Amino acid sequence: MIDVDTAVRGGLRLATGLVLGACTAVAELIFVLLTGLARRAAALDGTFDVDSPVGGPTVITVKLPCG
């Protein structure tokens, strides 16, 4: 399951996502996709962060400037 929330704060569009139930077999694909998202965020002068504590949940935060 992927749950995504977006909001605009301080002139930045904030999108957060929560990824649950990812099996080990797709972990490498997820890594490749997240790396691509991080590169895209950086190309737009944004930030990308993944917080994945042991036992979950994994939280992905992308901040992009608006306008």
Question: pLDDT tens for residues 8-61?
Answer: 555 555 555 555 555 554 666 777 788 888 889 999 999 988 888 888 788 888
pLDDT score at 6: 57
pLDDT at 49: 87
CA distance 22 to 30: 9
Q: Which CATH class is domain 2-65?
A: alpha beta
Minimal CA–CA distance to 14: which of 40, 57, 48? 48
- Residue 35's pLDDT is 83
Neighbours of 63 (CB within 10 A): 18
Which helix (H) or strand (E) element contains residue 9? Answer: strand 2-9
Phi, psi at residue 15, to the nearest 5°?
Answer: -120, 125
Half-sphere exposure of 2 (CA within 13 A, CB side): 8
pLDDT at 45: 93
